[in-house]
Amino acid sequence: MKLGLMSACFCDKTWDEACRLAKEAGLQAIESPTGGFDGSYHCRPVEMAKDDKLIKEFRDSASKRGLEISSFSCKGNPVHPDKKVADKYIADLEASMYIAQKIGVQSISVFGGLPGAGPDAVYPNWIVHPWPFMFTEALKWQWEEKIIPFWMQMAKKAKKMGVKFAFEMEPGDNIYNPETLLKLREAVGMEEIACNFDPGHLFYQGIDIETCIRRLGDMIVHVHVKDAVMSKSVVSFTGIIDAKMFSDMKGRAWNYATVGYGHDMQFWKNFVSVLRIVGYEGVLSIENENTNMSAREGLQKSVDFLKQCMLFDPAGKQWWDEFMH
């Protein structure tokens, strides 16, 4: 396995500076936002896709420091009910696919997207309750008319380009847990529908991380390392559904946390061990979203912590193997 970084925490730096800082932090890989919600401060995908020189410069910033570009992050809403908004996200995604093909990046982290509640909708609508029954009908329409057709078309394009879509499961999106991801995979029927496994979004949904890793198995093509902590005093009063701003750490039911500040080292050792059991030997990309400490301190603490948990060398043969024949 390799330890990497999602470079959004260096949004005030150039891509070249972000690569330098990642190397200085002791990392082996880096992941870049390429538009969508994550921004385009390190890669303007539509512009870069038109200029091979820009693509080369982008790749060389990482390679000259011995960094693998583990993935692109292009998480937007390509099925937004406003066509102009959707088209912008789609343009970023298609350009990201082209750049990925050119430099050998094999996965793009995405969101499934969130349509409106019907053909005349103006705003996206996240439906998570079956009643009144108009919600059930609207959810069926979202999947059958928008989500499945869009990703079936995109998966066919991705297959031709040798790229996989690594869906990140996050509330506020139609693909928010392993069940909805597997639903999309089954409906599309292509391995290009894959997973960027980020436990940070699953903790506060009450989902068991080991169970999910074992069930998803080789669908996992990229991994984010992000922690979260529940506030028991708030949850006991409000529950886990919480729309308060992330800056209101005191009032929220849950908050993202620097790795190790939400779950202990034993959890994270088991996390990497189970990933290896299902065959994942790729990059663990730190996504530093804790608002309780600086980006620099959060990153360094995450690196120091994870180096004690990671499995860097291949498992290799065990001494007893020769007696098993």
Element (H, E) at 294: none
Q: Is 22 exposed, middle or buried (0-12, 13-18, 19+ CB in 10 A)?
A: buried
Element (H, E) at 286: strand 283-286
Domain count across the chain: 1
Contact (Cβ atoms closer than 8 angstroms) between residue 300 and residue 19: no
**Average pLDDT for residues 55-72, to the nearest whole number?**
97
- Peptide bond preceding 132 in cis form (omega within 30 of 0): yes
Q: What are phi and psi of 228, to 5 degrees?
A: -150, 150
Mind listing the pLDDT tens digit for each residue in 76-98? Answer: 999 999 999 999 999 999 999 99
Contact (Cβ atoms closer than 8 angstroms) between residue 94 and residue 54: no
Ramachandran area for residue 229 (φ above 0: left; ψ -120 to 50: alpha; else beta): beta
Mind listing the pLDDT tens digit for each residue in 113-169? Answer: 999 999 999 999 999 999 999 999 999 999 999 999 999 999 999 999 999 999 999
SS3 290: coil
Structure-token pair, residue 297? 């301190």
Residue 291: give its domain's CATH number.
3.20.20.150
Beta bridge partners of 216: none
Domain range holding 12? Answer: 2-323
d(Cα 114, Cα 128) in Å, to the nearest integer? 12
Taking CA 158 as the corner, what is the angle to CA 154 and CA 164, rounded to the nearest 5 degrees? 105
**Where does the pLDDT of residue 325 fall: very low under 50, low under 70, confident under 90, or very high at 90 and above?**
low
pLDDT of residue 290: 86
Distances in Å between the Cα of 121 and the Cα atoms of 29, 143, 154, 171 are 41, 15, 23, 20
d(Cα 318, Cα 147) in Å, to the nearest integer? 46
Q: What are phi and psi of 197, to 5 degrees?
A: -80, 110
d(Cα 69, Cα 222) in Å, to the nearest integer? 12
pTM above 0.85, yes or no: yes
d(Cα 110, Cα 114) in Å, to the nearest integer? 12
